[in-house]
Amino acid sequence: MREASRDRLKAFLTLLPSIILIGVFVYGFIGETIWTSLTDWGGSGALSLTPEKNFIGLANYVELFTGVLGGGFRQDLVNAVYYSVMLLVGAVGLGMFIAILLDQKPKGEDVLRTIFLYPMSLSFIVSGTIWRWLLAPQGGLNVLPKYAGMEPLDFQWLSSTAAILEFNWQNLFQILLYVAAFLLILTGLWLLKKDSGMAVKRWLVPGIAVGAGAWLFGDLLPEALFMEETHGFNLATMGIIMATVWQYSGYTMALYLAGFNGISQDLRDAAMLDGASEVGYYRHVAIPMLKPITISAVIILSHISLKMFDLIFAMTGPDNAETGHPALNMYLTTFRANNFAQGAAIAIVLFLVAAMFIVPYLVSQYRQRGRR
């Protein structure tokens, strides 16, 4: 008994320094940032030794989401969603595709693998600089068609001001409800095969109800903004998305390739004898088996997508409104405009978005461990 408590004490003492350091420098500062985001620290006296800080509640957040001057942040937030989704879909999809090709054991597989993985070893600043050249209006990508005897492209990869899929921020609540309905129905359809009763009751019916409700009574919802403000998918972000996909698809390829190589040949043979075509093998056996890898890839890429600061900085500079990102916005608001409170609020919004990705992952990990 005494022995055990002494062991515990030793363990606690060993862990104590890191608990204190992490407590202060991670969680303490997160707390400090949250506190700052609830004050009005900023403006002319912000840099004085004893700045004036008054508690103003959630006013900074309200300003970001509904204020007149928050338009830039809102577009950045929309951009961030597109960056994340496109990076995930692009890098996971392309990486998986390349992995499947390499899984066919072509000649020179080792060399190809290294070539595809190589971009990941570059820093975002380096690849950003390279891609900025490649995407210059009269260079790189745009002149490629000339070599095939065609007209060069004249698309302004990084400075286009066009946008598609525009929506009015005023209808934010309605749009969020549509998204929720879409996700519910999607989950329902996915579960339909497994347990149709539960899928309909738990997912499909609520999904349709939410969707129909949002459509019918959307006008009754409060408007998020007092004036019309459209945001959408800025075409100028495409170049940046291409660069990130280029940089990270090799990484997902490596993850998937390792996974594919880990699947025993017998399983592949069994699938072939069971009548699965090559496509069927990947669709029904290999890719579902690698679900843990897909989940890891999604988690890793999604938080990388929140840290694209340096790539965007290198490709379009900090002030390009079309390609902005909340992380850049946070930097500019805090350190250029000295608007510390507002910057902290942006940081916290980013923190919450990151938590949205990480927390479900941690929960599922804990559950799995509990099951064991």
Partner 1 sequence: MANVELKQVFKRYGDVEVVHGVDLEIMDSEFIVLVGPSGCGKSTVLRMVAGLEVISGGEIVIDGRVVNQVSPKDRNVAMVFQNYALYPHMSVRENMGFSLKMSKMSRDDIAAKVQEAAGILELEPYLDRKPSELSGGQRQRVAMGRAIVRKPDVFLFDEPLSNLDAQLRTQMRMELRKMHMRMNTTTIYVTHDQIEAMTLADRIVILKDGYIQQVGTPVEVYEKPANVFVARFIGNPPMNIFDGVVATVDGLRCVQLGETMFPLSEGKGDGLADGRPVIVGLRPDAIKMGDKLEKLPEKWHCTCEVVLSEILGGHSLLEVVVDGKHTMIAEVEGRILAHPGEIVPIGFEFDRMVLFDPETTNALL
Binding site for partner 1 (CB under 8 A): 264, 266-267, 269-277, 280, 284-285, 288-289, 291
Q: Cα–Cα distance between 181 and 188 in angstroms, integer?
A: 10
| CB closer to partner 1 out of 100 and 172 | 100
Q: Which is nearer to partner 1, 2 or 105 (CB)?
A: 105
Smallest separation, CB 216 to partner 1 (Å)? 36
Q: How far is the CB of 361 from partner 1 (least distance, A)?
A: 19
Query: What tokens were used for 72?
Result: 């830039």
How far from 242 is each of 79, 144, 145, 295, CA to CA, in Å?
A: 14, 16, 18, 22
| CB within 8 Å of 252: residues ≥ 6 apart | 91, 92, 94, 95, 96, 99, 297, 301
Q: Check: CB of residue 231 under 8 Å from CB of residue 170.
A: no
Q: Tell me if 308 sits within 8 A of 316, measured CB to CB.
A: no
Min dist CB 286 to partner 1, Å, is: 10
| CB closer to partner 1, 82 vs 281 | 281
**Pairwise CA distance, residues 240 & 132, whole Å:** 9
Cβ-contact 273, 165 below 8 angstroms: no
Question: Nearer to partner 1 by C-beta: 14 or 196?
Answer: 196
Residue 123 or 277 with smaller CB distance to partner 1: 277
Nearer to partner 1, 31 or 288 (CB): 288
Q: At what angle do helices 71-103 and 237-262 cross, to 10 degrees?
A: 40
DSSP lists the bridge partners of residue 233 as 164
Least distance from C-beta 198 to partner 1, angstroms?
14
Min. distance of Cβ 106 from partner 1 in angstroms?
Answer: 18
CB of residue 271 vs partner 1: minimum separation in angstroms?
8
Q: How many CB atoms lie within 10 A of CB 132?
A: 21
Q: Which is nearer to partner 1, 20 or 267 (CB)?
A: 267
Measured CA to CA, the distance from residue 163 to residue 66 in angstroms comes to 21
Task: Report angle CA 142, 144, 145 to the nearest 5 degrees.
Answer: 95
Kindly state the smallest distance separating residue 94's Cβ from partner 1, in Å: 24
Residue with the two structure tokens 């492209």 = 153
